[in-house]
């Protein structure tokens, strides 16, 4: 077992964007004597608006992740860089925004093999870590690079209907075996479940197109109750359809009844509970093996799900339900437990630099994300004022109060501004008053910078 290490000094971090580069040709050296294990728990399509990990009785119930939150820091204002699997995951593993990785859709970029990117697996493998990736990858195998162990089944595609229900237990079993394996060096492990992505609607041109897991299971169909005798969950309160040019209500959902919305949420929440149970098995194995105190643990999701907000499901909008993701980080004896951070704006591109910082490794100069360590250790440390996210034809800027969306077409540009304090459900774009125009101008300028 690795002894608990002292605090490492902060690794240098360049804020300026420089040409992309691979990890240095010479193996990076940690600045600390006994670097920690790194355990990255990643789910798919888990909205930060679905759970608060407070431990209070709720639907869904997440005891394993509630305990993880109680033992570390919960960031409530954490956001994906792009509300789609491949671009968001590439940001998490490289510390770069999607326009820098070149992955701006779920289709492989033709020049991807020619791009030199800082990859988590290669960085930690070069630093002497035993590396492993278990579960959904979906970054065109970039996530596998530098990984010594990939488990018994590799999965690098979206996943629909029941892939997660079938395969996630296999991924968890393989990850537990990896964690429990005797070793001399620290480990870096990504444990990535497909679920709750099984809730996702199948694309129209694929077999079972337009269907979800709700359509092919009898769960909650006649019994009219959720688990533990509870009523089926109520639909999201913000049901107002989104204004153009935001993605409009799909014809399938346009005809859904109140009962169908409740069943959709019930199945989605059940998938969340299943993922919590599976990740709990991983955390139990970490404890049993005596490594919990030597391990930095981070849980998040690539993006969220709209959960019926605005009469939508899935993602590909800038609404809070799909952009806001759960974000928990714990490191026993190093990170103060039980803290909730509802102030700082956190991005998926901050994950890799945070891992490097706690491991005592220099953050690659190309990385644009920022280590969370300064604000974990000092709540008043300087931090970003704005957070940016992307879609292929759109950009979002989030401040502490406002959210600005800019959509571009070949012939026009549309701008929307929401006040998240007075309109947390994002149902009413602000009118073009002089004050709101000034705010738009300020956020637009930040985006252009």
- Give average pLDDT by consecutive 10-residue segment, the chain, 449 residues: 31 34 56 93 97 90 97 98 97 96 90 89 97 96 95 89 92 98 96 93 70 74 80 90 81 81 91 97 98 98 95 92 98 96 98 98 96 97 97 95 93 93 96 95 90
Domain boundaries, the chain: 37-384, 393-449
Q: What is the pTM of this model?
A: 0.91
Render pLDDT for 340-367 as a digit per residue (tens, 0 to 9). Answer: 999 999 999 999 999 999 999 999 999 9
The tokens for 194 are 């497909």
- pLDDT the model gives residue 335: 97
Q: Phi/psi zone of residue 86: left (φ > 0), alpha (ψ -120 to 50 degrees), beta?
A: alpha
Cβ 349 vs Cβ 92: under 8 Å: yes
Count of other CB atoms within 10 angstroms of residue 157: 14
- pLDDT the model gives residue 25: 47
The tokens for 449 are 């910078």
Give CA separation, 296 vs 24, 399, 406, in Å.
24, 29, 37
Cβ 243 vs Cβ 191: under 8 Å: no
Cβ 84 vs Cβ 107: under 8 Å: no
Cβ 45 vs Cβ 322: under 8 Å: no
Residue 144 DSSP class: G
Domain 37-384 sits in CATH 3.40.720.10 = yes
- pLDDT the model gives residue 10: 28
- pLDDT the model gives residue 318: 96
Enumerate the H helices of 53-162 as residue ranges.
Answer: 63-70, 85-94, 98-101, 120-126
- pLDDT the model gives residue 260: 86
What are the percentages of helix, strand and coil residues in the chain, rounded to 5? 30, 15, 55
Helices 63-70/258-288 angle, 10° precision:
60
Residue 202 DSSP class: P
Cβ 193 vs Cβ 65: under 8 Å: no
Among candidates 119, 8, 91, which has minimal Cα distance to 361? 8
- pLDDT the model gives residue 131: 98
């Amino acid at each position: 077992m690795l002894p608990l290490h002292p605090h490492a000094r902060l690794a240098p971090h360049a804020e300026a964007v420089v040409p992309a580069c691979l990890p240095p040709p010479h193996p990076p050296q940690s600045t600390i004597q006994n670097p920690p294990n790194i355990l990255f728990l990643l789910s798919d399509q888990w909205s930060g608006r679905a759970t608060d990990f407070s431990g209070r009785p709720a639907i869904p119930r997440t005891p394993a992740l509630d305990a993880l939150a109680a033992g570390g820091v919960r960031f409530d204002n954490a956001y994906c860089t792009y509300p789609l699997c491949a671009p968001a995951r590439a940001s998490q593993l490289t510390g770069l925004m999607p326009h820098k990785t070149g992955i701006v859709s779920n289709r492989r970029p033709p020049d991807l093999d020619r791009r030199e990117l800082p990859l988590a697996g290669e960085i930690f493998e070069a630093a002497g870590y035993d590396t492993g990736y278990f579960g959904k990858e979906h970054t065109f195998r970039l996530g596998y690079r530098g990984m010594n162990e990939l488990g018994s089944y590799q999965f690098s595609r979206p996943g629909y209907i029941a892939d997660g229900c079938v395969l996630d237990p296999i991924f968890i079993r393989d990850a537990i075996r990896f964690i429990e394996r005797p070793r001399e060096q620290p480990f870096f492990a990504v444990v990535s479940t497909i679920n709750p992505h099984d809730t996702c609607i199948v694309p129209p041109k694929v077999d079972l197109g337009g269907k979800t897991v709700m359509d092919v299971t009898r769960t909650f169909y006649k019994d009219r109750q959720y688990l533990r005798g509870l009523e089926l969950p109520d639909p999201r309160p913000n049901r107002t359809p989104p204004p153009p040019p935001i993605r409009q209500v799909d014809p399938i959902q346009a005809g859904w009844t109140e009962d169908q919305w409740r069943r959709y949420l019930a199945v989605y929440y059940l998938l969340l509970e299943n993922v919590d149970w599976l990740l709990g098995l991983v955390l139990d194995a970490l404890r049993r093996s005596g490594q919990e105190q030597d391990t930095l643990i981070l849980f998040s999701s690539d993006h969220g799900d709209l959960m019926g907000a605005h009469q939508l499901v899935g993602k590909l909008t800038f609404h809070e339900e799909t952009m806001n993701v759960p974000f928990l980080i714990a490191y026993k004896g190093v990170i103060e437990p039980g803290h909730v951070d509802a102030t700082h704006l956190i991005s998926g591109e901050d994950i890799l630099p945070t891992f490097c910082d706690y491991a005592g490794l220099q953050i690659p100069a190309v990385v644009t994300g920022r280590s969370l360590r300064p604000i974990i250790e000092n709540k008043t440390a300087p931090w970003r004022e704005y957070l940016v996210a992307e879609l292929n034809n759109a950009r979002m800027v989030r401040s502490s109060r406002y959210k600005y969306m800019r959509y571009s077409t070949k012939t026009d540009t549309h701008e929307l501004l929401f006040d998240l304090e007075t309109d947390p459900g994002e149902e009413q774009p602000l009118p073009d008053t002089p004050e709101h125009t000034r705010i738009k101008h300020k956020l637009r300028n930040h985006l252009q910078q």
